Amino acid sequence: MTTLTAPVSVADLLISQRAYWATGATRDVDVRLDRLRALRAAIVGYQADIIDAVRQDLGRPEFEGYFEVGVISELDYIIKQLPRWVKPRKVSLPLSQQPGAAWVQPEPLGVALIIGPWNYPFQLIISPLMGAIAAGNCAILKPSELAPATSQVLARLIKTTFDPAHVALVEGGVETAQALLAEKFDHIFFTGGERVGQVVMQAAAQHLTPVTLELGGKSPCIVDANVDLEVAARRIIWGKFLNAGQTCVAPDYLLVDERIKDELVGALQQRLASCYGDDPAQSPDYARIVNDRQFDRLVSFLAQGHILAGGDQERSDRYLAPTLIDGVSWDDPVMQAEIFGPILPILTYRDLDEAITAINQRPKPLALYLFSRDRKTQSQVLARTSAGSVGINDVILQIAVWDMPFGGVGSSGIGNYHGRYSFDTFSNLKSVLKKPFWIDMDWRYPPYGDKVKLFRKLIGLS
């Protein structure tokens, strides 16, 4: 059975997976490809259940529900590229190491633990799983209990697709997570908030287990005066209010050139009405907040500032209208933590140096966005700020380029994944040097005598 809750079952399951991994079955590339294709077929087969589950958990419209199923785009890429990724990667040898050959040989780590979040509860547990399988590992999955409908669908999908000795899923809350983290894994992959990320890292440290932490942060969005306001507003509104703002790489706040603030606000207000109508509560295209706790946290942010659009709320439906606010300061609660909801503060700057300084005074974000036609401005922002990823003149889409790594920097995350980067994250990139017997220069062996002169030359000293 792949869905477990009792701590003793977690330990037994881990023993079972270690025994299976030790057989070497997961190292076979054909087995990996077979299991990845089986996973794809299962996702396609369960797509209606997945979309219905995220509707139950998050009020997600059908279109946005397909973002979960859309994980098969990355899966197809991995299936296509895997035969190339598993091959040894040749490297060149310096003159002092010749003759010989050297290469980097990827090998699986063993048994991985993957802990998923509630905001994209299917996609963000399946995506790292694909990398774990592709790299030849076993895996135990722990979906978020805050998205129970999706957790149940995941449990059924995993149970019907995998031998639990290879891939298993454990449902449960905090106690289940604690039981899992008390065990020794070969890698832990966690997606969630910074506070829980610290707990995961502390638990991993007890076993010296490597971790990948996909966290978050306040992703700034700079809007320069030299932009197409209509297109910028369209893209910002989509990215911010997708999934009711519950997206880790959503623009968290705007930093707008003060000369165009009023024009941009007008364009944003117009775009909100175009997307969600005069009463977004009635829109079939607008999601809901995941639970009452998150709802109450978000509503508390509205106590400061001036609401330019939205602000309406209904706790019984966990509805919070897409909201634009200004008049907030950097010290207000809404600017102290990642918002992770449908509230968009609008701040201004006088010159680019001011905007860059404001960003750099705060923790490094998961994403940074810049809207500007000016190449000099683009270059300055790229050179003088740090973020996990950057979008220029668009938002969010940078995370769906499978040849680029996705991850944070500093407090927004450790490590990265997607495409080959997922494969590498769940692999040990083993360095191998092979030398022949037919020649054996004596420059490194005692007695050294005057060999120091030769050695200095070999290492690049005159």
Positions annotated as catalytic residues are 214, 248
List the structure tokens of 293. Answer: 């706790």
Amino acid at 86: V
* Spacing of C-alpha 404 from chain mean position: 12
| 423 to 123, 138, 215: CA distances (angstroms) | 17, 13, 20
Neighbours of 286 (CB within 10 A): 24
Output the CA torsion 10→16→18→20 (10° steps).
-150
Residue 78 near residue 422, CB atoms below 8 Å: yes
Residue 318 near residue 289, CB atoms below 8 Å: yes
Query: Looking at residue 288, what DSSP letter applies?
Result: -
Q: Could you give the 3-state DSSP secondary structure of residue 355?
A: helix
Nearest to 260 by CA among 308, 222, 207, 209: 222
CA pair distance 135, 149, nearest whole angstrom: 29
The b/e string for 252-275 (b: 16+ C-beta within 10 A; e otherwise) is bbbbbbeebbeebbebbbebbeeb
Element of type H or E holding 4: strand 3-4
Residue 201 near residue 348, CB atoms below 8 Å: no
CA pair distance 219, 271, nearest whole angstrom: 21
Whole-number CA gyration radius for the chain:
25
CA pair distance 93, 388, nearest whole angstrom: 33
* Spacing of C-alpha 364 from chain mean position: 15
| φ and ψ at residue 438, rounded to 5 degrees | -70, -15
The residues near 8 (Cβ < 8 Å, ≥ 6 apart) are none
Nearest to 342 by CA among 301, 403, 386: 301
Neighbours of 105 (CB within 10 A): 14
Strand 167-170 versus strand 306-309 pairing type: unpaired
List the structure tokens of 210. Answer: 């490597």
Neighbours of 423 (CB within 10 A): 24
**Token match 């009023």: residue?**
262
* Spacing of C-alpha 398 from chain mean position: 12
